[in-house]
Amino acid sequence: MIDIKALEKDPTFVQEYRQSLKDRGADASAVDDLLELNSKRKSYLTQMETARAEQNRVGQEIARRKREKEEASELLSQMQELSGQVKDFDKLAQEVSAELELMLLSLPNRLHSSVPLGDSAEDNEVIKEVGPKREFSFPVKDHVALGETLGILDFERAGKVTGARFAFLKGAGAQLERALIQFMMDCHSQRHGYAEMIPPFIVNSQSLQGTGNFPKFKQDVFHLSETDYYLVPTAEVPVTNYYAEEILDEKELPLRYCAYSPCFRSEAGSHGKDTRGLIRQHQFNKVELMIFSHPDQSYDWHEKLTAHAEQILQDLELAFRRVSLCSKDIGFGAAKCFDLEVWLPGSSGYREISSCSNFEDFQARRANIRYRPEGKGAKPRFVHTLNGSGLAVGRTLIAILENYQQDDGSILIPEALRAYMGGRDKIPASQKG
């Protein structure tokens, strides 16, 4: 959420935010609408307080006249009129406040100055490419053909049981998925110092509002009918809100968590994109990295978090690249975002496997997560929140199947995963789940 006080009082902030909206392709006039609404809200509140003060004065005069047995009928009539004014202005102020709140919740974050300008994903800036792309002496298959031939992926029966964009993982496929979760959690907790967490997989609407999913992206989330419960679209939602409405000690920062959860997404806006295979499922597993940082350190931690996610790809010896998302491709709540894209031979292209974002204080304002600076009389400040996939498990499984496929139809197991796969070094071509 954008700081309304900064928009009111800081001309530099206003100028930067107007430009940020333009760079995102949004309407910069929203700033004027916002300030006008806030001015109207303040006017109604002022008029309400003026009427209330007069109401108190008249009330005191009525009490005096009654004590002295004087006529007060005229003042009683005035008192009734003032009471009506207080209620009317209070109602108007509440209505405008609700409209203002909705508008604030619907406006995107201010972009960091280093975000590249661009109109689409084609304009994202490639920061680096890591690792050679595997070369094959035989025709490569994509993960769907590989998984179905090996008998470790079953989309047809998942369609029967549930519907489109679901899958059964069987045998070595299920084992590989489980091994990846364990490997990622171990790496981030034991090597990088994140505290492990398994959060609730169901959250309320307030939590989704806190991370920026609501109200703008409500159609993308699965709702449990006749409740205020929703299936998590990512562990980011419950873990971010772990400290909602709390004030942390400055010395505790940064607080770092790695969390496993299944993720559920309706994909309402995908319009038939990537309907084949595991790329864009309604349900998938993910390991999420989450950091609550001191504002002065958040961009250092953004770099570290991204490097921690990259470590998984390096350990699995998968070619990837890091890109900085441009102004019209970056997410609604991010001030800056790096995407990690893994090389998939089956489609001869890079595909996103992690988004690592610094939200600055955008989410913290929505969820009211603050810290108290050291020093007598210091007022609480909002923390900065950061998160990133470390990694999306299903897409990592895709990358392993496609990059480690062999001419005989088998799949080699990356060396880093073999201990998690019971010591096996390959999924044999004769594997049938």
Q: Secondary structure of the chain in the HEC alphabet?
A: CCCHHHHHHCHHHHHHHHHHHHHHCCCCCHHHHHHHHHHHHHHHHHHHHHHHHHHHHHHHHHHHHHHCCCCCHHHHHHHHHHHHHHHHHHHHHHHHHHHHHHHHHHCCCCCCCCCCCCCCHHHCEEEEEECCCCCCCCCCCCHHHHHHHHCCEEHHHHHHHCCCCCCEECCHHHHHHHHHHHHHHHHHHHHCCCEEECCCCEEEHHHHHHHCCCCCCHHHCCEECCCCEEECCCCHHHHHHHHCCCEEEHHHCCEEEEEEEEEECCCCCCCCCCCCCCCCCCEEEEEEEEEEECHHHHHHHHHHHHHHHHHHHHHCCCCEEEEECCCCCCCCCCCEEEEEEEEECCCCEEEEEEEEEECCCHHHHHHCCEEECCCCCCCCEECEEEEEEEEEHHHHHHHHHHHCECCCCCEECCHHHHHHHCCCCEECCCCCC
User: Which one from 52, 134, 178, 280 is the annotated catalytic residue?
Assistant: 280
Of the residues 352, 372, 381, 418, only one is catalytic, namely: 352
**Tokens read off for 401:** 């199947």
Using CB atoms within 10 A of its CB, is residue 375 exposed (0-12), middle (13-18) or buried (19+)?
A: exposed
168 has which bridge partners? 154
CA 285 remoteness from chain centre:
16
User: CA-CA distance, 172 to 169, in Å (whole number)?
Assistant: 8
352 has catalytic annotation: yes
Which of 288, 324, 395, 402 does the annotation list as catalytic? 395
265 a catalytic residue: yes
The label of the residue with tokens 């509002």 reads: 209
Examine the residue annotation and report whether 424 is marked as an active-site residue of this protein.
no
**CA nearest to 292, candidates 306, 279, 302, 283:** 302
Q: Which sequence positions are flagged as catalytic?
A: 265, 280, 352, 355, 395
